[in-house]
Amino acid sequence: MEKKTKVKNMQGKQALEFISGSEILLRSLLLEGTECVFGYPGGNVLYIYDAMAKDPDFKHILARHEQGAVHAADGYARSTGKVGVVIATSGPGATNLVTGIATAYMDSVPLVVITGNVSTSLLGSDAFQEADIRSMTMPITKHNYLLRDVHDLPRVIHEAFHIANTGRKGPVLIDIPKDVSNQKMFYQPPGDIHVRGYQAVPALNHDPVDRLLQAIADSERPVIIAGGGVVYADASKELLEFVAKTNIPVAATLLGLGGFPSSHELSLGMPGHHGTYAANMAIQQADLLISIGSRFDDRVTMKVDGFAPAAKLIAHIDIDPAEIGKIVNTDIACVGDIKAVLQYANTKAMPARSSAWVLEAQANKRKHPLRYKDSGTELKPQFVIEMIHETTNGEAIITTDVGQHQMWAAQFYKFNHPRSLITSGGFGTMGFGLPSAIGAQIGNPDRLVVSVNGDGGMQMCAQEMAMMAIHNIPVKIVVLNNEVLGMVKQQQEISYQRRYSHIDLQGSPDFVKLAEAYGVKGLRARTKAEAERVWKEAMETPGPVLVEFVIPKEENVYPMVLGGNTLDQMIMGDFE
């Protein structure tokens, strides 16, 4: 390692090193507790990658595509609660990150995204591989920077982590021109952070919380919608205590699954487009609706002007005041950190007058459970998810891609712990499932990680199996193969009079051979008996394994609420 010039500061107390921006970047990342960076090199980040070669303490994993790298960083962040870090070069390297940045932004995931750019003297000249990535990503980042002076680098890195992982979390981008990454300065770690105009967490106003508690005490039919904010605030224990004290049933959104235990007697399951009968009917009949960390996404509300029509009051607890009243009119607004709000509420909470209501909701769960028509000859996807749940005792981290398999996983795997379901909610990003599992496994080396994918999404980032094989990352990859874009096919079948258009995925690769080509063990099952046998083999095999389950293309996800309908207008499938 090359020698660094050292000088003493004016007080003579601390030796300062004269080092490059690239070295400062790596030191700053380590200082922030970064365990692993996912990335892909290129010309305008070569000074940074050269510094990595000289720093044995810095861990970097080479993806095979920048989108795979950013999804891996995302999976790491969602599963650990820490900041995920990704790095890419300028131009196409940076623009290949955009889908992953938007995915994280929509779901409030803390990322620090580092991109290279052309030297400052070339900015704006349309130089080779130049892109104004800062402008491109302004709508999909919480904040972003273009660095023009190496002296700003230590402060900016420190600020970026602070902004990404406080308040409503989200991605922050730092664009570093090549010459800045090579400029040198006497490095000193930054001091306290003060970002002008940035208030990470609003001060908690107790008055609306007190109003909510009184409304609960007066309520006979209250319902909680628990969203991803419960998970991100690490407020699952507080929610559990709150529910115990108030006796309120809970519907957990897709991103909220695990934030409240699915096995709890007051759990109604997931609400919305593919929600349970019990959850949707409870929302429609509730006299008090309480959203906790849920932003009233359109897949939850469906037809907004018919949403929760019996509710006399709607309350919303959220850290972001911009979400209050944005979609649904709110009567009681509790703005603040969810953990802090619930901690205060738990000091005063009294039970609702909800005994009869709870019995009604539990009866709906028994009368209209999630179910499917099993088969003695075909392998049903719901059976596969149930089998995975049983064999993992519900303790695995499940990542999914986007489509029918995502909904089956949400419905039939019972999530009892927060940060156990890693999935793209708001952006619905195909290709997310496999690389996000890599990040989740890196962040949770002692836990089993299962990546559930469809045959469509699997092909969008399949190349990241190389990362798994090279680093022996022991993710168990599930491919539910129905040879069709299943969710699109289902919508065309129901809403477009079976006019199937460009959904046929026949001709896709042999997934077992594809896995083996990357050095990953591949297995296949077409029947229940084969499924149980190969899954057992996969679980007993060290390292990564891909298991393809061949399922019928006719299988649909039910229940289902069509667009333009209200939550109580549910299609129950064969059980309607």
Give the active site residue among 66, 130, 548, 555.
66
Q: Three-state SS across 481-513?
A: ECCECHHHHHHHHHHCCCCCCCCECCCCCCHHH
Q: CB of 171 within 8 A of CB of 162?
A: no
Q: What is the DSSP letter of 264?
A: S
CA distance 492 to 494: 6
Give the active site residue among 17, 129, 386, 387.
129
Give catalytic status of residue 463 as yes or no: no
CA angle 492, 270, 571 (to 5 degrees): 40
Give the active site residue among 302, 487, 560, 570.
487
Q: CB of 239 within 8 A of CB of 230?
A: yes
Select from 366, 536, 511 the least CA-distant residue to 453. 511
Which residues is 315 bridged to in the sheet?
290, 332
- Identity of the amino acid at 197: G
Say which residues have a Cβ less than 8 Å from residue 393's Cβ, sequence separation at least 6: none
Which residues is 8 bridged to in the sheet?
15
- Hey, how many other C-beta atoms are within 10 angstroms of the C-beta on 576? 8
Give catalytic status of residue 38 as yes or no: no
CA distance 124 to 375: 62
Give catalytic status of residue 265 as yes or no: no
Q: CB of 87 within 8 A of CB of 37?
A: yes
Give the active site residue among 128, 188, 373, 390.
128
At 188, list the tokens: 């000193």
Strands 476-481 and 545-550: parallel
At 309, list the tokens: 């029509």
User: Which residue matches tokens 């609660």?
Assistant: 81
Select from 46, 109, 30, 47 the least CA-distant residue to 73. 109
CA distance 429 to 349: 39
Q: How many residues does the chain have?
A: 576
CA distance 576 to 570: 9
CA distance 426 to 100: 12
Say which residues have a Cβ less than 8 Å from residue 328's Cβ, sequence separation at least 6: 291, 296, 301, 304, 307, 308, 314, 316
Does residue 364 sit in helix, strand or coil? helix
Give the active site residue among 142, 169, 178, 476.
178
Report CA torsion sign: 42, 48, 51, 55. Answer: negative
- Identity of the amino acid at 443: G
Give catalytic status of residue 307 as yes or no: no
Select from 85, 69, 43 the least CA-distant residue to 177. 43
Buried b (16+ CB within 10 A) or exposed e, 283-304: bbbbbbbbbbbbbbbebbbbee
Q: CB of 190 within 8 A of CB of 158?
A: yes
Give catalytic status of residue 487 as yes or no: yes
Annotated active-site positions, please? 66, 128-129, 178, 487
